Structure 1
Amino acid sequence: MSAERTPPSGAVTATGVPTGGTGADGAGAPRPARRLIGVDAARGLALFGMVAVHTLPSWDEQTGDATLSWTLFAGHSAALFATLAGVSLAFASGGRTPRTGRRMTASRWALAGRAGTIALVGFLLGFLELPVSNILIYYGVLFLLAIPFLRLRTRSLLLCAALFALVAPFLMQWSVDVLPGLEYENPSLLDVVLDPGTVLSQLLLTGVYPALPWMAFLLAGLAVGRTDLTSRRVQTLLATIGAAVALLVWSASVLAVQVLGGYEAIAAGTPWMDEAQIDEVMVFGGDPTLPTDTLWWLLVSTPHTNTPFFLLLNVGVALSVLGVCLLLERVAGRILAPLAAAGAMTFTLYTAHLLVLWPEYYDLAPAAWTVGQLVLFTAFALLWRRARGQGPLEVVVTRSTWAISRRVLARGADGTQPPVLSGTAPGPDRTRDPTT
């Protein structure tokens, strides 16, 4: 889902905000920046995965089994999006060294503005009867929740991510029986005005992408963004350790459920479900939450269950994918260029994807609609980037956050430079107009 191409002055970052300039008012020349194509490629892969999950069938009508597209992308693509959003937030708040003082204040206010813009687009899309859940509103809430964590370093962020992954699912399960459930598949601005409590509880705990459990992804990405992502060693560690974590967590979940009696405990604790219904949840997840009769359900790692195993598994998957894409950039940067171009404007393309799905014509030929979207989005991204730079919606985010940053810094009157909200790594420019 998310993301984000030129500000009035300065290059554009991987988070859709300007890199700033050399003068105190931000009007100087932008600092050079080297675009991390691997980050954009990973984000493009997440976008394409969500397109596949939303457009292709999730199960085989003849066998009832999950399809390959569901197995490969369901849950993983959205989690990758959220993790990469955290990486972008690290870039936008100082990179390896978090900003301090008024520059950090400017970054926080810019992030709040960014969250509001993305959430507003999501709420406006809520007036349409979309056939899928819109992640943009949840993204806005995630960004707001991330503001207090921007000053933290890698170890502290990883610890916080682990705490959210381990604690938030229990809070989520408790909330299902206490707070309002999923009343609005895609809430609109009108729903926010008329029923704010229900919308808020849904966005935080009871919705499809509940922000509190999903902070595990955002904070893990923020932690990774505080490392040197241009280092081959870091890239290799991400690829290998991420894969190892994913394999370990998945194995632990399978062992607990299938060997150590977890399945039987779930069946005994949920007597109103027969074996077929339990198996369906084991494959396709909750609707959108898991049954609350027993906490044994938190042992599963099924897509969109938001259990500790699901969260930690997909943190590992996301970090491994990012590491692999960064390593591939070293040897196949040109080959990754189309994927990276789409990943540089995912806010625009994800919104376009939702509008394409809205009439629900894709049910007539899902495979053709999927391929058509991938080809069209890639071609549009390449052509638009060459002609105009940032994507249309990315420009809106960029200009609004740029204006907020300059206003905050100007208020300081202390000669501080505007924040270098860079989504790129230090070094010479690799693209004419870096983008999200």
Structure 2
Amino acid sequence: MNQRRLTGIDAARGIALLGMIATHVLPLYNQETGDPSLTGLVFSGRSSALFAVVAGVGLALLTGGSEPHEAKAVNRDRRGIAVRALIIALVGLILGGLETTIAVILFHYAVLFLLALPFLGMPLRRLAVWAGAWLLLSPVLAYVVRDWLIRNLSPSDINGNITWEAFLSPAALAADVFVTGFYPVLQWLSYILLGLVIGRLALTSLPVQVGLLTGGVFAAVTAKLISNYLLGELGGFDVLRATESGQQWPLARMLEVNLSSVEQTGSWWWLALSGPHSNTSLDMLHTAGAAAAVLGVCLLLTRARPLLLLPLSAAGAMTLTLYSLHVWIMTMVDQQSPPLEPMPVYWIQVAILVVLAVLFQRIDARGPLELVTSGASRLARGKGGRTSAPARQKR
């Protein structure tokens, strides 16, 4: 297997893409009973987290994988990744200006790439310490800062997708991107750092692949058990229901699907949540563990047969193009009256996107947006960036 193009990683990225599309198209709650739907229970929170973790793995592979590039080459890598991030941010701003109900992730994704630049040349052990510390401490800092922002900054978020107009309110934009928005990069950097740690491992190794699966499952289950104990046995959930937000929202159901709308202020017990998009340590430990397990499964399945998951890996190799196409399609779908049935809309989109991806893969071509980003990245790296010797691995 080629470490630079492991089809299992592409397949995991493809799963993240199709899972995110499912949360955009299919209902997260049963319209008759109000109970969480299967889509909400399985994909909400986990798909976007998988997308971010695999992004970190990709950054690690771009900078040498298990044999990191030497210092001069890493500096060239940083230039290339910075240009890549700027192009992704531009695409995100364009998509954010469309009439859509989708929370477009790309601008935040680009900011995460830029924030990851200082970590790219870091030895594995130090990187792992940073990743663990960031996962544990960033939600605490976010809780403190969020409360201050809500009380002192009006507005404290953009209230929608980020567009060019958002730059006219720089304070609200910064608050939204880092703390108060749908994808707060203060906490989400944890996913990128954990992905970098995973990408520095020998991903072609069978013990590593099995370790990702078993360790990921253990982390995901442990996070849920700890959260359930804190909220149930220790009474944290009753305290949260007594807060202003707890009285405003049906927390019991939202805990299973999506907590992004809930203003998590008024009690430190909010940090005991593990529900989707609560962005707590336990939420990120659970979703990152699930992401590691999915990566492990995909790497194991493609270990002997790289093309076994071709529909997923082909889609995962051109997610920027396919994600953008999906958002554009949904702008038209959302305007239909009466509304279209979500299930056919989902499967028709999946079929179109997967067939398109497989066709591009068969003719050995990149997606249009991938071609632009990779070309600009190579120009920014300059000569010699791809042939530099790896540095000695420090653990």
TM-score by length of 2: 0.91
What displacement does 1:225 show? 0.5
Q: Which segment drifts farther, 280-289 or 244-253?
A: 280-289
Higher helix fraction: Structure 1 or Structure 2? 2
Q: Which segment drifts farther, 166-175 or 119-128?
A: 166-175
Preserved contact between residue 94 and residue 420 of structure 1 (Cα < 8 Å): no
Query: Corresponding residue for 1:310?
Result: 283
- Within the alignment, does 1:172 sit opposite 2:142 as a pair? yes
Question: Of residues 90, 102, 117 in structure 2, which corresponds to 1:132?
Answer: 102
Residues 276 and 289 of structure 1, relative CA distance in 2, 3 Å threshold: closer
CA deviations over 1:288-319 (Å, ceiling 9, x no partner): 35330111011111111101110111111111
CA deviations over 1:339-388 (Å, ceiling 9, x no partner): 10000000000111111111315742100010011111000001122235
Q: Which segment drifts farther, 40-49 or 273-282?
A: 273-282
Preserved contact between residue 342 and residue 378 of structure 1 (Cα < 8 Å): yes
What displacement does 1:170 show? 1.8
Question: Of residues 317, 320, 324 in structure 2, which corresponds to 1:347?
Answer: 320
Question: Of residues 377, 386, 389 in structure 2, which corresponds to 1:419?
Answer: 386
- Paired with 2:357 and 2:388, the residues of 1 have a C-alpha distance of 23
For residue 148 of structure 2, give the secondary structure of its aligned residue in structure 1: coil
User: Which amino acid counterpart does residue 187 of structure 1 have in structure 2?
Assistant: I
What displacement does 1:273 show? 3.7
What's the % identity of the aligned pairs?
38
- Paired with 1:291 and 1:34, the residues of 2 have a C-alpha distance of 41
- Paired with 1:421 and 1:38, the residues of 2 have a C-alpha distance of 26
- Paired with 2:359 and 2:218, the residues of 1 have a C-alpha distance of 38
User: Which amino acid counterpart does residue 55 of structure 1 have in structure 2?
Assistant: V
For residue 333 of structure 1, give the secondary structure of its aligned residue in structure 2: coil
For residue 177 of structure 1, give the secondary structure of its aligned residue in structure 2: helix
Preserved contact between residue 35 and residue 253 of structure 2 (Cα < 8 Å): no
User: Which amino acid counterpart does residue 164 of structure 2 have in structure 1?
Assistant: L
Count of residue correspondences: 380
Query: Corresponding residue for 1:335?
Result: 308
Preserved contact between residue 173 and residue 290 of structure 1 (Cα < 8 Å): no
Question: Of residues 195, 198, 203 in structure 2, which corresponds to 1:224?
Answer: 198
Residues 388 and 100 of structure 1, relative CA distance in 2, 3 Å threshold: closer
Residues 373 and 420 of structure 1, relative CA distance in 2, 3 Å threshold: farther
- Within the alignment, does 1:190 sit opposite 2:165 as a pair? yes
Preserved contact between residue 239 and residue 323 of structure 1 (Cα < 8 Å): yes
User: Which amino acid counterpart does residue 216 of structure 1 have in structure 2?
Assistant: S
Q: Gaps (5+ residues) in structure 2?
A: 390-395
What displacement does 1:47 show? 0.4
For residue 178 of structure 1, give the secondary structure of its aligned residue in structure 2: helix
Preserved contact between residue 60 and residue 200 of structure 2 (Cα < 8 Å): yes
- Within the alignment, does 1:70 sit opposite 2:59 as a pair? no
User: Which amino acid counterpart does residue 194 of structure 2 have in structure 1?
Assistant: A
Deviation >4 Å, runs of 4+ = none
- Paired with 1:34 and 1:224, the residues of 2 have a C-alpha distance of 14
Question: Of residues 245, 257, 267 in structure 2, which corresponds to 1:284?
Answer: 257
Query: Corresponding residue for 2:77?
Result: 107
Query: Corresponding residue for 1:153?
Result: 123
Query: Corresponding residue for 2:393?
Result: none
Which runs of structure 2 are paired with 1:248-263 in the superposition (5 Å)?
248-263=222-237
TM-score by length of 1: 0.83
CA deviations over 1:95-119 (Å, ceiling 9, x no partner): 1132233211101111111111101
- Paired with 1:124 and 1:151, the residues of 2 have a C-alpha distance of 32
User: Which amino acid counterpart does residue 250 of structure 1 have in structure 2?
Assistant: K
For residue 278 of structure 2, give the secondary structure of its aligned residue in structure 1: coil
RMSD of aligned alpha carbons: 2.0
- Within the alignment, does 1:90 sit opposite 2:60 as a pair? yes
Question: Of residues 169, 173, 190 in structure 2, which corresponds to 1:199?
Answer: 173
CA deviations over 1:236-259 (Å, ceiling 9, x no partner): 000001111111111111111122
Q: Gaps (5+ residues) in structure 1?
A: 1-31, 410-416, 423-436
User: Which amino acid counterpart does residue 169 of structure 2 have in structure 1?
Assistant: D
Query: Corresponding residue for 1:393?
Result: 369
- Paired with 2:379 and 2:298, the residues of 1 have a C-alpha distance of 33
What displacement does 1:184 show? 3.6
- Paired with 1:149 and 1:388, the residues of 2 have a C-alpha distance of 32
- Within the alignment, does 1:376 sit opposite 2:346 as a pair? no
For residue 290 of structure 2, give the secondary structure of its aligned residue in structure 1: helix
